[in-house]
Structure formats: C-alpha cells, structure tokens
Amino acid sequence: MSDAISLFVSSRFNGPPGMGNGGFSAGLAAQLIDGPAEVSLRASVPLDTPLSLVPTQGEHAYECRQGDQIVMTASRAAPLAPLPSPPPSLAIARKGRDHYPPVETHAFPACFVCGPARADDGLCIFTGQPDGFDGVADTWTPSEAFADKTGQIRREVLWAALDCPGAFAIGFEDRPMVLARIIAEIHARPRAGEEVIVAAWHLYDEGRKHGAATGLFSADGTLLAQSEQLWIDLKPPVTAA
C-alpha cells in the first residue's frame, strides 16, 4: 500500500476526557497488520478529527498522523509470551467487579471501556481483584453493536477490552495513568452475546513506568486474545507554594 488511508476516532470511544481510548485507537492504527502488532501512543489521540494512517519505510509499519504530528506508530510484533497464570473460573471472574472502585473515585468515569458512567453505551469492563485470583478480573458480554457482519467482535473493540484492565492490575485507582504502548495478539474473536472472561496481571514497575498483561478467555478458559501494555503515571498537579 502506498497511499494514506483515513482514520477517525468518534467521541463515543474516549478514554480520558477529550481524547481517544488508547486501546481502541491503537486497534485502528494496527488495522492493516495481520497477526501480533505493537502500537506506541506518541500524543493524545484527538476525537472527531480526521487522521491519516501512512506507511513508513519499514515493512508492516505505519504512522498515524494529524497533519505533520505523529500521534501513533504501529508495526508488526513477535508473538506474545504466555500469560503469567491461568485465568480465573467464570464464577470467580464474575466477582471481580464487586471490588471495583465506585464512580465517585474513578479518575476517568466516562471512559468507553472502564467508565462506570458509561453503562448505556460503553464496554462496562470493571476489573477488580476477586478472592482466589492473583490478578484482576471481570466478565464481559459484548453486544451486537460491537460486532461485524459475521457476528464477531471487531478487532479495535477487542484492543480496547485488552487495554484498561491492565491499569487496574497495576493499581489505577491509587495512581491514575495513561497508556504509552500496547502489543496485542488476537487468536480468535468472540461473538456478540458470548460471555468472556477478562483477566489482567501486574508485570513490573520502573519509576513512573509500569507493565501489565491482559487476556480475554472463553467461558471454558480458552485464550482468545492477549496484550502487554506500558503505562505511565500522570504527573501530580503543581500546587502553589
């Protein structure tokens, strides 16, 4: 492909206020890459704004631009390592949201993926740590609104579902953070109406940088999709002396 294609993130698919959800936006940036893909978010993804996805010199590599500014880069990635542990059972995963922070303390309550204020049109993935599991978990039953003509859930929506749970595995409720990089690999796409187990694990901390891994699983524990993410703590606001 030699010509740019247009890319557009609707305001419905926001993350933090006024910007695109990182996972959803990354999934759009990786749409031309078959297999595992890595997306780095270089700037806030604007909403309701025409963007261009432009091939670069490297094979299977693209830049998402707003004019001359590079917003995201996307490239083919190596297959991801196995997840840290098996997923929780469906029954245990369903209890994860009992340990999820309430809307009053959520840093981004209107986030398309994890926002408690988006009960009508969001993904409503509320991953908390249930008893008997070493990460955070929830279940998710995607609606037909997120499916393609085959009834399977669209890839960019799966990328979104693979995003926010990692932040809660790290401890998002105590230290708000934003996504800097995500590597995702989709093995099989669930269908609309199919209950899916969502699980995420904290991998590491390096100063303000944190790593996490997320997996989507069928009800019987079969791995459907997975990701690894790099998160960056938001800097605390400067207060007057």
Identify whether the C-beta of residue 5 lies closer than 8 Å to the C-beta of residue 31. Answer: no
How does DSSP assign 100-115, residue by residue? Answer: SPPTTT-SSTT-TTT-
pLDDT value of residue 59: 78
pLDDT value of residue 157: 98
pLDDT value of residue 4: 81
Q: Which of 99-108, 134-143, 176-185 has the lowest mean pLDDT?
A: 99-108
Whole-angstrom distance, CA of residue 155 vs CA of residue 157: 5
The pair of three-digit structure tokens given for residue 190, joined into one six-digit string: 């669930």
Q: What sections of 106-233 are H helices per DSSP?
A: 155-161, 164-170
pLDDT value of residue 92: 97
pLDDT in tens, 140-181: 999 999 999 999 999 999 999 999 999 999 999 888 899 999
- Residue 65 confidence (pLDDT) above 70: yes
Looking at the DSSP assignment, which residues form a beta bridge with residue 69? 66
pLDDT value of residue 237: 58
